Amino acid sequence: MKNILPFFLLFVFISCSKFERISKRIDTYNKARKPFITAHQMRVKLYKKGYLGFINLMNDTLIISQSGQIDALIYGGIIAGTKEKICYEYNDYDKKLEINKYGCELHSLIQKWDTLGIRAKELEQKNLIRSKVYYKRIILNNNKIVKKDAIEFMEIID
């Protein structure tokens, strides 16, 4: 048992560092927006606490939307992999993190990354008052980002 522990710790360290490198590269989009805690810092915090263990660094597609309310010191978002997703809210004032795995919904057009469908729905709902949202899609293969793209649109209301 004692012989296995060092190898396990080494595996966790290497896995975490690979995730941190990938997470940092995701932020090359949207550099103009600087929240009080960076999106990368938030993803690493979630990963280190074990909430992003569902992400398969060898082969997965992630859909991420993260935003912050600087005046309220609240940061939140959704991180979805192929198999699972989480919604979270982090209050930077009292350092409180809330996780929701089960009431976390992602519109089917976003899950499919149907950008034409998203634009059509956006036009269909042009007279509704909605917020602008920003999503990233990251495709991972062999611990590397092989493709990333993003879309910004007016929130879809069903």
Of 56-60, 82-86, 93-97, 138-142, give the lowest mean pLDDT range.
93-97
- Note the pLDDT tens digit of each residue in 35-62: 467 788 889 989 999 999 999 989 999 9
pLDDT, mean of residues 92-104: 82
Q: Residue 95: left if φ>0, alpha if ψ -120 to 50, beta else—which one?
A: left
- State the Cα–Cα distance between residues 132 and 130, nearest whole angstrom: 7
Among residues 62, 55, 19, which one has the least CA distance to residue 40?
19
User: Highest mean pLDDT range out of 9-13, 34-38, 64-68, 114-118?
Assistant: 114-118
Q: Per-residue pLDDT for 34 more than 50?
A: no
The pLDDT value recorded for residue 33 is: 44
pTM equals 0.73
The pLDDT value recorded for residue 14 is: 60
Which sequence spans correspond to the domains of the chain? 4-154
The pLDDT value recorded for residue 56 is: 92
The pLDDT value recorded for residue 13 is: 57
- Note the pLDDT tens digit of each residue in 62-75: 999 888 776 667 88
Q: How far is CA 100 from the centre of its chain?
A: 13
